[in-house]
Each structure stands twice: as structure tokens, then as C-alpha cells.
Amino acid sequence: STAIAPEDDAPNRYSRTERTAYSRYSRDANSSGSSVPSNALEKRIEELERELAKERQENARLTKMTQDKEELIGKLKEEIDLLNR
């Protein structure tokens, strides 16, 4: 039951500042001919980042809960073994 730390996730390889700088660069480079306003895209990115943060938090909570239950199962198995002897 090994959990992958959020720091090891590929999306976290670049800081938010680097991604923002890149998205601004892309927006400036593609400003002519863009069908979707970049402001709307930036808001959508921020919304998705918030949603991702919530999902990661929930994942961490569930992982912790699973580990706690596995630990309890192990202790109960030991207790059963002791009672059987």
C-alpha cells in the first residue's frame, strides 16, 4: 500500500509561475486568430487547478483512511493469532 506523493506527479514538474508565464507567452504569440478569449481560458485553467487541488486532497484523505484500516486489520489479525494459541 504505497501511495504516490503529490510532489511526484508530472503536472507539478513546473511551478505555477512557469506555467503562467508560458500561457501568457502562448497567448501573445497566438493573439491573432484565436477563437476563444484567453481570459476565458485562464479562468478555466484556474478553475481546473482548484478542482485538481480538491481531488488531490480527497485522494490523500482516502489514502490515509485506507492505510489506517489496513493497519487496524493487521493488528486484529495479530490479536486473532494470539487468541488462537
Of 17, 7, 1, the residue nearest 71 (C-alpha): 1
Report the alpha-carbon distance of residue 5 to residue 59 in Å, rounded: 11
CA distances from 34 to 22, 28, 40, 58 (A): 16, 10, 12, 36
Under DSSP, is residue 9 helix (H, G, I), strand (E, B) or coil?
A: coil
The pLDDT of residue 53: 98
What the block records as the C-alpha cell of 22 is 508560458
The pLDDT of residue 37: 82
The pLDDT of residue 4: 54
What the block records as the C-alpha cell of 26 is 502562448
Low-confidence residues of the chain, pLDDT below 50? 1
What are the residue ranges spanned by the domains of the chain?
37-84
